[in-house]
Amino acid sequence: QITLKESGPTLVKPTQTLTLTCTLSGFSLSASGVAVGWIRQPPGKALEWLAVIYWNDDKRYSPSLKSRLTITKDTSKNQVVLTMTNVDPVDTATYYCAHMSYTLQYFFDYWGQGTLVTVSS
């Protein structure tokens, strides 16, 4: 079955770069029509889409965060990596990765459990 798992630091200092890894299982990001997205949720607040990477290496970013985000994939490792530069306390959130596919119109149908990242000095 399809599963995703996020990993990365739980605490990051302001101005540092945050690197998060999403490990995929049960599907391949090299399969046509598949994509993986990153979404975050600050404590008690709404979900916010961050970035998406498609099977063909096309990438899309939230316009408000585009200058700070990079999304990449390593199909041999079944991983997707999201980097966020120059983090700030407002970036404190639970970060999720999620599976997407053409057949489900690129909605987020399978989610990882999420990883809480705190930005603090």
Partner 1 sequence: LMTQSPATLSVSPGERATLSCRASQTVSNNLAWYQQKPGQAPRLLIYGASTRATGIPDRFSGSGSGTEFTLIISSLQSEDFALYCCQQYHHWPPTWTFGQGTKVEI
Q: Does 52 bind partner 1 (CB under 8 A)?
A: yes
Interface segment toward partner 1; rule CB under 8 A; list 9-17, 20-28, 58-66, 81-89: 58-66
How far is it, in rounded angstroms, from Cα 20 to Cα 88?
16
- Sole residue written with tokens 């008690």: 44
Residues 9-29 as b or e (16 or more Cβ within 10 Å = b): eeebeeeeebebbbebeebeb
Instruction: Indicate which single residue of 23, 27, 48, 78 sits in contact with partner 1 (rule: CB under 8 A).
Output: 48
Q: Does 112 bind partner 1 (CB under 8 A)?
A: yes
Which residues would be at the binding site for partner 1 (CB under 8 A)? 37, 39, 46-49, 52, 60, 62-63, 96, 104-109, 111-114
